[in-house]
Amino acid sequence: DRTAVTVIGLGNMGVALAEAFLKGGHPTTVWNRSANKADGLVAKGAALAATFADAVAASPVVIICLSTYEVMHEQLSPLTDELSGRVLVNLTSGTPDQARNTAIWAAEREVEYLDGAIMAVPQLIGLPETLIFYGGSKTLFEAHAPLLRVFGGNAAYLGDDHGAPLLYDLALLTMLYGSVYGYLHAHAFLSTANISPTAFLPFATNWVNHVIAPSITNPDSARALEERNYATDVSNLNTNKLGLEHIIRASKELDIPAEWLKPLHAIAAQQVAEGYGNDAFERVFEALRKS
């Protein structure tokens, strides 16, 4: 497969995508608002399009990786004939509804559209284990899967909902930010006694591997959420509510912020007040999920 391709958006990620195509031997056209970012790619054989419209017109398959959907639509909206019949694969981050609305926009213009979400940093583009989510027509995905695997061997097709890749992406990202915030809060605590992150590292590693990871990547917990059955003999909401209170109280004593935990504590306290104190901490999900 030596399909000609266009990559639009040469930020950190777009450059890595274009490089993967060049490595794979694909005739590659590129475009970026700041044209100088194409210099390294042109030296490796890419063609730099003079305008956005030229870039779209240059190839049957167009990959877009810009900062936001707003930026992408600002560029796309003046285009007319150039678009029809193209395959557009959008790897720009945003919300599921932005992806769904873009799919409607594409269908109105006879553009074949796949939405995707890259679950990796640019350095991981092109590796067999790199995970990228895709959503849209199955036929369209399957026809282009070999091409898309140039970016990452683990190209996961999620079905015909164009919003699914970004929904999965946001699910994983909120897990990430929750964990990283907790990690930074931990070091705020430790810094009050001058304990260095390096000194703490062995304990953090043990905790993540043997307590956190097994508790959130665990079929029993997944089933509890699915069945909304929160029975436990391990650690109940009562105990965890008190745990949150200790963190909040200690944060105050040590003069570090704990605002981020207060909404979580409020949910746990409400559920304990409603008589669910013996349920598992997963019961908090009842207050978070869409009813």
Residue 20 touches ligand NDP, criterion: CB under 6 A: no
Residue 34 touches ligand NDP, criterion: CB under 6 A: yes
Classify residue 256 as exposed, middle or buried by CB count within 10 Å of its CB (0-12, 13-18, 19+).
Answer: middle
CA of 88: how far to CAs of 35, 47, 59, 64, 164, in Å?
21, 19, 10, 7, 17
Which position among 4, 11, 100, 287 is part of the footprint of ligand NDP (CB under 6 A)? 11
Closest CA to 122 of 158, 165, 91, 161: 91
Residue 93 touches ligand NDP, criterion: CB under 6 A: yes
Segment interacting with ligand NDP, rule: CB under 6 A, options 27-35, 129-137, 192-200, 210-218:
27-35
CB of 150 to ligand NDP, least distance (A): 16
Distance of alpha carbon 93 from alpha carbon 191, whole angstroms: 35
Distance of alpha carbon 90 from alpha carbon 69, whole angstroms: 9
Distance of alpha carbon 212 from alpha carbon 189, whole angstroms: 19
Which position among 5, 14, 19, 106 is part of the footprint of ligand NDP (CB under 6 A)? 14
Segment interacting with ligand NDP, rule: CB under 6 A, options 30-38, 193-201, 256-264, 272-280:
30-38
Which position among 5, 6, 7, 13 is part of the footprint of ligand NDP (CB under 6 A)? 13
Q: Which helix (H) or strand (E) holds 242?
A: helix 237-254
Which position among 5, 6, 7, 9 is part of the footprint of ligand NDP (CB under 6 A)? 9
Instruction: State the maximum Cα–Cα separation within the chain, in Å, rounded to a whole number.
Output: 67
Instruction: Name residues whose C-beta falls within 8 Å of residue 267's C-beta, 6 or more positions apart in sequence.
Output: 284, 287, 288
The count of residues interacting with ligand NDP (CB under 6 A) is 19
Residue 33 touches ligand NDP, criterion: CB under 6 A: yes
Residue 174 touches ligand NDP, criterion: CB under 6 A: no
**Binding positions for ligand NDP, rule: CB under 6 A:** 9-14, 32-34, 37, 65-67, 71, 92-93, 118, 121-122
